[in-house]
Amino acid sequence: MKLSARNILPGKILAVTKGSTTAHVILELAPGLTITSSITNEAVDDLGLKVGDAVSAVIKAPDVIIGK
């Protein structure tokens, strides 16, 4: 699959927690380095996401805000 996004972070799913409509998917990008994505439950089901799957986080946004 080709994408126009340049920020593609490969990782492994550590957890999938479904809520009423939205799921939180935790990816391990490197040992001790995780990122959490909020996606629809439908997307989780359509992609067949489960713990241990190798996936990629694709970040496509006009702004990245950093705070300290």
Q: 4 pLDDT exceeds 80?
A: no
Instruction: Average the pLDDT over 40-54 and give the result.
Output: 98
pLDDT at 41: 98
Structurally, the chain folds into a number of domains equal to: 1
29 domain residue, yes or no: yes
Instruction: Average the pLDDT over 8-27 and give the result.
Output: 96
Residue 3 three-state SS: coil
Going by C-alpha positions, the residue among 25, 19, 20, 21 that lies closest to residue 48 is 25
13 domain residue, yes or no: yes
Instruction: Average the pLDDT over 59-64 and give the result.
Output: 77
Q: How far apart are CA 9 and CA 3, in angstroms?
A: 13
Confidence of residue 6 (pLDDT cuts 50, 70, 90): confident
Q: 3 pLDDT exceeds 80?
A: no
- What CATH number does residue 50 fall under? 2.40.50.100
Residue 55, domain extent: 7-59
Q: Which two tokens stand for residue 58?
A: 């694709």
